[in-house]
Structure 1
Amino acid sequence: MNAPDFLIFSDLDGTLLGHDDYSWAPAKPALDALKARGCGVILASSKTAAEIAPLRAEMGLSDWPAIVENGAGLLDPGDVTGSTGDDNIYRDLRARLGDLPEGFHGFGDMDTAEVAATTGLPEQDAARARQRRFSEPGLWTGTDAALERFLEAADAAGLSARRGGRFLTLSFGGTKAGRMDDIIETYRPRHTIALGDAPNDTEMLERADIGVIIRNDAAPPLPKMPGEDSGRIRRTTEEGPAGWCQAVLGLMQELGRTPARN
């Protein structure tokens, strides 16, 4: 396998997908240019494999792995459903959660209708969000003091906890940046570029050769990051997939890898 010129590591919601319409259409010119040069796009998201697989196929990216459940797992190349695979990790995770103090209400405790109501997802998408293999998001229903005791018990049980804007997510560890290292080791790209818009993308942006913060007016902007003064970290002027397209095509030209012409 020849080393690709670029490996692109990309967040989805608010980055490659529009914040309001979840469309990736504005990014298609850049995706086409990357494909013409044999460059890879690695989707990296909190979404499950079952959620990402059909989207990855729709984008024409199924030849490349994807980082799922915020780095807790990987979706293999060629898997177009994401619904198959060993669920022993998730089963073990749920078993350990059962021994922790009460107060955590995870997706495994909810039916599809409740997940849909909690997340705002359509029921079909909520069903895919419940097809978990590596991590368990949920709501904390107890007090702040009880949460601290819960987190201490989770740590003692070998579980890693990450707090997001809405959900507390438990896993056996793993980050987007850590999965990047594994993928980079496999493909040995000449350049790595990461794009994201949220705090949980910062490790990924810092790990890449060049990080791009995608403008998202629906969320507070990321604080200034180390590397912005030197240009190793950049920000787009356009939002979402339009900004994604702008950044990728600009970097291809800047790095001497202009899109291939027919």
Structure 2
Amino acid sequence: MTNPPDLVVFSDLDGTLLDHETYDWSPAKPALHRLAQIGCPVVLTSSKTAAEIVVLQQAMGLSDYPAIVENGAGVIGLPGQDDIAEDYEKVRQMLDAIPPSLRKHFTGFGDMSADEIATLTGLSPDAARLAMKRDFSEPGLWTGHDAAKDAFLAAIQEQGLTATQGGRFLTLSFGATKADGMARVLARYKPKHSIALGDAPNDIAMLEAAEFGVIVANPHRDPLPHLKGEAEGRISRTRDAGPHGWNTAVCALLYQLGLTTGTHANG
């Protein structure tokens, strides 16, 4: 039985730990290195697929930790609790069951080629193919007007689906959120402290549920509204964008929590 870690960090990827345009995460290396030194799990928490996140975990040295994938629709790497990937086809079937007049305005990843996804996201063709390996949810673009979008959202709700707006895409799933995934990981690790970092509306519940939330600046999208916990200082905002802001915020919180010296093993 391992000892509970002092801290677990939950991090969104695009626009947060990854640069919005280049997907570079190297500016966050100092903080990631410090977290590794003191044995604090970093749980990648993203709209990305398991296939995409595993590659990033390997590159960042985070393969020993779980990850929350597809906007919280699934959790991988949690001992004894890996989700079974069987929801995606159900989501697609329900999507195709809504009226064609509404369906035509939503272009999901399952409606696109790898080249189209690469062009849309800036991913390489190989990375785009990993993004298409969906297990739990369907991201896509809404191309209709607002009134039709309201009708579309009502129609998918009748089918039993929910929609979550991320930094780029509207994602359809059976409703599990990043905050739900975070709760499962926290129940498993039982850390003394938790930090969540994100930049988009689909991060709000996670940011508000963590002990400390960090809204990472992203000049490519509208800033998040004032969140519960900001007035008390439990939730903060970075001045720098993406991985630069991520690095500064995590280092500051490590100092605040007294986790800047020594090595804290997990058992």
Q: Could you tell me the TM-score, scaled by structure 2's length?
A: 0.87
Alpha-carbon distance in 2 for matches of 1:159, 1:42: 26
**Pair 148,253 (structure 1): closer, same or farther in 2 beyond 3 Å:** closer
In the alignment, structure 1 segments of 5+ residues that lack a partner are 79-84
| Aligned-residue offset at 1:232 | 0.6
Per the alignment, residue 23 of structure 1 pairs with: 24
Equivalent of 2:192 in 190, 193, 197: 190
Deviations 1:110-157 (A, max 9, x none): 221222233332211111111000001123355554444433232122
Q: Aligned to 1:105, what secondary structure does the other structure show?
A: strand
Alpha-carbon distance in 1 for matches of 2:45, 2:258: 26
Per the alignment, residue 82 of structure 1 pairs with: none
**Within 5 A, what are the aligned runs for 1:38-57?**
38-57=39-58
Alpha-carbon distance in 1 for matches of 2:212, 2:165: 26
Root-mean-square deviation (CA), in Å? 2.2
| Aligned-residue offset at 1:236 | 2.0
1:211 aligns with 2:209: no
**Within 5 A, what are the aligned runs for 1:1-262?**
1-76=2-77, 86-102=84-100, 103=104, 104-142=106-144, 144-164=146-166, 166-260=168-262
Alpha-carbon distance in 1 for matches of 2:154, 2:225: 29
**Pair 44,150 (structure 1): closer, same or farther in 2 beyond 3 Å:** same
| Aligned-residue offset at 1:223 | 2.5
Alpha-carbon distance in 1 for matches of 2:145, 2:17: 36
One-letter amino acid of the counterpart of residue 223, structure 2: P
| 8 Å contact kept, 1:15–1:241 | yes
| 8 Å contact kept, 2:138–2:171 | yes
**Pair 245,141 (structure 1): closer, same or farther in 2 beyond 3 Å:** closer
| Aligned-residue offset at 1:4 | 0.4
Q: Aligned to 2:42, what secondary structure does the other structure show?
A: strand
**Pair 259,240 (structure 1): closer, same or farther in 2 beyond 3 Å:** farther
| 8 Å contact kept, 1:160–1:173 | yes
Identity %: 55
Structure 1 stretch displaced more, 213-222 or 129-138: 213-222
Q: Could you tell me the TM-score, scaled by structure 1's length?
A: 0.89
